[in-house]
């Protein structure tokens, strides 16, 4: 399938997708986004913003995808105010796990070099950051960047403010409330107010 620009969802379409997440599998979270398997297609994920930095990350990812549609990036299919629907990675790496795999798999060194090409491409586009190592393998065993919302004009520390917050009890309460809003079909405006208050 040929890569195409991501499709902007209307408010109604985004709200319907958020409602579908009621029965979706929550597979993890980043520094400021929840990640669900897309209930409409299990080869895709839905990233849901849980903070102001996440809204910025979503916008930057969509912009980079729509500007380049580059094969180094996990494809973005749809986006809204709070969500990004992206190609799912079946195996994921961060800087440490990638380097461990690279070093310990001398017989697979050529394969890991393909992953390194993704990191190098992101470094040229976004600047040098450990976030560039958030890469993985899709269903076709192709290396892709799955988290590329880094803003080189803002320090990594500022962009990942939620990462420190995630270790607190308040964050757990926030996640519980965000999940309640998403899973019990609260209007998107209520979710927006909830995020802005945090």
The chain-wide mean pLDDT, for the chain, equals: 81
For 15, residues 6+ apart whose C-beta sits below 8 A from its C-beta are: 187, 188
Q: 66: exposed, middle or buried (C-beta count within 10 Å: 0-12, 13-18, 19+)?
A: middle
Cβ proximity of 89 and 137 under 8 Å: yes
Residue where the block lists tokens 């629907």: 85
141: left (phi over 0), alpha (psi -120 to 50) or beta: left
Q: What is the crossing angle of helices 52-68 and 188-197, to 10°?
A: 120
Domain ranges of the chain: 93-145
Stretch 41-64: mean pLDDT = 89
- pTM, two decimals, is 0.77
Of 54 and 158, more confident: 54
Stretch 60-65: mean pLDDT = 93
For 63, residues 6+ apart whose C-beta sits below 8 A from its C-beta are: none
pLDDT band for 23, please (50, 70, 90 cuts).
confident
Q: How many residues does the chain have?
A: 198
**Is pLDDT above 50 for 38?**
yes
87-108 pLDDT, tens digit per residue, is 999 999 888 888 887 777 667 7
Cβ proximity of 162 and 111 under 8 Å: no
133-175 pLDDT, tens digit per residue, is 899 999 999 999 999 987 655 554 454 445 455 556 665 666 6
CA distance 98 to 133: 7
């Amino acid at each position: 399938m040929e890569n195409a620009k991501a499709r902007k969802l209307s408010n109604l379409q985004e709200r319907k997708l958020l409602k579908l997440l009621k029965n979706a599998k929550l597979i993890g979270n980043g520094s400021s986004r929840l990640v669900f398997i897309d209930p409409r297609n299990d080869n895709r994920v839905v990233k849901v913003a849980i903070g102001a930095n996440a809204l910025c990350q979503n916008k930057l990812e969509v912009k980079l995808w729509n500007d380049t549609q580059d094969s180094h990036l996990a494809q973005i299919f749809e986006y809204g105010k709070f969500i990004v629907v992206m190609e799912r990675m079946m195996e994921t790496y961060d800087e440490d796990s990638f380097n461990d795999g690279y070093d310990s798999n001398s017989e697979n060194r050529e394969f890991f070099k393909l992953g390194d090409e993704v990191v190098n491409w992101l470094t040229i586009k976004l600047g040098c950051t450990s976030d560039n190592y958030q890469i993985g393998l899709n269903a076709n065993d192709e290396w892709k960047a799955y988290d590329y919302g880094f803003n080189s004009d803002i320090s990594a520390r500022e962009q990942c403010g939620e990462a420190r917050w995630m270790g607190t009890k308040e964050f757990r309460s926030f996640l519980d409330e965000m999940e309640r809003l998403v899973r019990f079909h609260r209007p998107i405006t209520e979710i927006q107010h909830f995020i802005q208050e945090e």
